[in-house]
């Protein structure tokens, strides 16, 4: 088998894994009322069950990125997929709520180990800057594709057989990934293990990064503070949608989470090998791209959640019919995702990201016209077509901006931060927007206000991205320097062939 065929096959495998990690977040969103009836759940139980996977996923991503940089992507993919498969089986067989809830938390932990490791392997597959940018442009659209597939598939499956069968998807994909993991390259091996003395532009400092051949320290204190802090603050944001911000059950975990995150930031400045280097987010393009990821993921999650509630609870649609309503969304997403990579190659990630955010804002603005009598063809469908077109472009461009210009030994870190932003977007965004919706006298009026606020936020983010400088992947020189260092031993004609094959 040729090197190019190996690279394309490995990328396809990793792409399916990434999509399924996000698919697994959404598989209970549409059938959640069915789950609640079967297990006899109250509102608080439903709230925690819907958030469990995302909470552990987001909380453990920085640790997952560090473990990837320390132990290598292939090994961490194996560990993460094994955990995902075992916990998915436990979810499918869960006899009661406590077992299902615990299994969802473990699923998120498996995803947090897998997601950064997959990006690290992609970096190894495509070490050339142009090829890696194209790979990450495709990678950015996989997340929203996975979320859409989860919403489209879950309703019919839950209605025809049982919601438990939905967990067969992560089980099968995890097993396939484990069987094929031996064919994946190992990011820790040569030539990436050569010492790198290029300036660390990604972190905004003149300090030389640690050689790739030296494994970074685990930073257990930072991992504990970050994990518990993100988990506590995220739980408070989720709980605020039901209990309100004045509730002790919201204020207490939020205060604890904020204190832990402040302690994490202080500890990282005193640590020789920090989990998240303080200067890593100083790059303006990277920081703005992460905001774009959060805004985009929040907007798409809002559409899925509110429209699912609107159609099922207010219009009386079944779970299967609700899933069918998102089929045009999925088609528009697939078509726009195919265009995102070539557009980034031609115009660069900044204008494509800005245009995507603007399109998504327009789609949400159309949904802000929602009322109790809104028809599907004229009231919902236009927004459901514009929203995915913008989300695909925004995710693709932001993925390039957020992960470019990073030294190879920090690929796991960059992937962990990117995925953390993607998970925190729906958590924080939904909490704020649902709190806004609750202030309106009618349910539909609240939904419309939430859509309008989300549209305004995305429009502002589009402006912030549009004024970014457009040179290079991140505005620094680290990517060019580190890549030229790590690919000098690769045959030039072979590199050219791999890039042409990937971009064809």
Ranked by mean pLDDT, the top range of 9-13, 153-157, 293-297 is 293-297
pLDDT of residue 384: 93
| 231 and 100 co-located in one domain | no
User: Helices (H), strands (E): how many in the chain?
Assistant: 18, 0
Last residue of a domain, one of 274, 293, 315: 274
Report yes or no: 437 and 159 within 8 Å, Cβ to Cβ.
Answer: no
Residue 425 is part of which domain span?
3-190+275-503
Three-class secondary structure of residue 387 per DSSP: helix
| 256 and 225 co-located in one domain | yes
**How many beta carbons lie within 10 A of that of residue 353, not counting itself?**
35
Phi then psi dihedrals of residue 216, to 5 deg? -70, 150
Query: Per residue in 415-462, pLDDT tens?
Result: 888 888 888 888 788 778 887 888 888 889 999 999 999 999 999 999
Three-class secondary structure of residue 97 per DSSP: helix
**How many beta carbons lie within 10 A of that of residue 15, not counting itself?**
19
Q: Residue 160 domain-assigned?
A: yes
Q: For residue 406, what is the DSSP state?
A: -
pLDDT of residue 341: 85
Alpha carbons 425 and 291: distance in angstroms, whole number: 8
**How many beta carbons lie within 10 A of that of residue 373, not counting itself?**
8
Alpha carbons 389 and 180: distance in angstroms, whole number: 32
Residue 19 in tokens: 């999509």
Mean pLDDT of the chain: 82
Q: Which range (23-27, 384-388, 482-486) has the least confidence?
A: 482-486
Tokens 């920085």 locate to 62
Q: Residue 344 domain-assigned?
A: yes
Q: Residue 87 pLDDT more than 90?
A: yes
Query: Per residue in 40-63, pLDDT tens?
Result: 988 778 878 888 898 899 889 889
Last residue of a domain, one of 255, 274, 293: 274
- Cα torsion 100, 103, 104, 109 to 10°: value is 170
Report yes or no: 110 and 226 within 8 Å, Cβ to Cβ.
Answer: no
| 226 and 180 co-located in one domain | no
Q: Residue 410 pLDDT more than 70?
A: yes
Report yes or no: 452 and 101 within 8 Å, Cβ to Cβ.
Answer: no
Q: Residue 129 domain-assigned?
A: yes
Predicted TM-score (pTM) of this structure: 0.77
| 14 and 121 co-located in one domain | yes
pLDDT of residue 369: 92
Pairwise pLDDT comparison (8 vs 472), residue with the higher score: 8
Alpha carbons 404 and 412: distance in angstroms, whole number: 12
| 237 and 305 co-located in one domain | no
pLDDT of residue 471: 62
| 256 and 304 co-located in one domain | no
Domain count, the chain: 2
Q: What is the CATH number of the domain that holds 433?
A: 1.20.1250.20
Report yes or no: 476 and 405 within 8 Å, Cβ to Cβ.
Answer: yes
- Cα torsion 423, 426, 431, 432 to 10°: value is 110
Full DSSP string of 286-320: HHHHHHHHHHHHHHHHHHHHHHHHIIIIIS---HH
Query: Per residue in 143-175, pLDDT tens?
Result: 778 878 887 888 888 888 999 999 999 999 999
């Amino acid at each position: 088998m040729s090197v190019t065929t190996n690279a394309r096959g490995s990328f396809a495998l990793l792409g399916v894994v990434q999509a399924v990690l996000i698919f697994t977040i959404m598989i209970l969103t549409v059938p959640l009322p069915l789950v609640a009836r079967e297990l006899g759940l109250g509102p608080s139980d439903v709230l925690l069950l819907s958030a469990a996977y995302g909470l552990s996923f987001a909380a453990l991503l920085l640790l997952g990125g560090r473990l990837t940089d320390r132990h290598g992507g292939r090994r961490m993919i194996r560990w993460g997929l094994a955990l995902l498969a075992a916990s998915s089986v436990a979810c499918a067989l869960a006899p009661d709520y406590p077992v299902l809830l615990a299994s969802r938390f473990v699923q998120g932990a498996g995803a947090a180990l897998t997601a950064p490791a997959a990006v690290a392997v992609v970096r190894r597959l495509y070490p050339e800057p142009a090829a890696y940018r194209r790979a990450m442009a495709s990678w950015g659209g996989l997340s929203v594709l996975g979320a859409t597939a989860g919403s489209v598939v879950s309703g019919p499956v839950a209605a025809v057989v049982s919601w438990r069968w939905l967990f067969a998807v992560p089980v099968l994909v995890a097993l396939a990934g484990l069987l094929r993991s031996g064919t994946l390259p190992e990011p820790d091996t040569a030539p990436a293990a050569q010492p790198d003395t290029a300036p660390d532009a990604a972190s905004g400092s003149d300090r030389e990064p640690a050689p790739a051949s030296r494994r970074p320290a685990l930073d257990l204190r930072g991992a504990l503070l970050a994990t518990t802090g993100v988990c506590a603050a995220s739980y408070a944001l989720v709980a605020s949608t039901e209990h309100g911000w004045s509730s002790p059950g919201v204020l207490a975990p939020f205060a604890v989470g904020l204190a832990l995150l402040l302690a994490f930031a202080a500890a990282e400045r005193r640590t020789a090998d920090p989990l998240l280097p303080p200067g890593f987010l100083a790059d303006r393009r990277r920081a703005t791209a992460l905001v774009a990821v959060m805004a985009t993921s929040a907007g798409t999650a809002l559409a899925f959640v509110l429209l699912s509630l609107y159609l099922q609870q207010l219009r009386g649609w079944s779970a299967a019919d609700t899933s069918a309503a998102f089929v045009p969304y999925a088609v528009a997403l697939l078509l726009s995702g195919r265009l995102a990579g070539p557009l980034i190659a031609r115009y660069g990630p900044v204008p494509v990201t800005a245009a995507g955010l603007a399109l998504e804002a327009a789609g949400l603005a159309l949904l802000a016209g929602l009322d109790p009598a809104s028809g599907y063809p004229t009231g919902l469908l236009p927004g459901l077509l514009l929203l995915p077109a913008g989300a695909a472009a925004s995710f693709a461009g932001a993925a390039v901006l957020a992960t470019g210009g990073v030294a190879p030994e920090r690929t796991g870190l960059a992937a962990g931060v990117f995925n953390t932003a993607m998970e925190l977007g729906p958590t924080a965004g939904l909490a704020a927007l649902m709190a806004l919706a609750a202030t309106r006298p009618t349910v539909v009026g609240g939904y419309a206000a939430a859509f309008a606020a989300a549209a305004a936020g995305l429009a502002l983010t589009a402006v912030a991205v549009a004024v970014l400088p457009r040179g290079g992947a991140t505005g620094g020189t680290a990517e060019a320097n580190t890549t030229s260092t790590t690919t000098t031993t690769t045959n030039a004609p072979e590199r050219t062939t791999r890039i042409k094959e990937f971009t064809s």
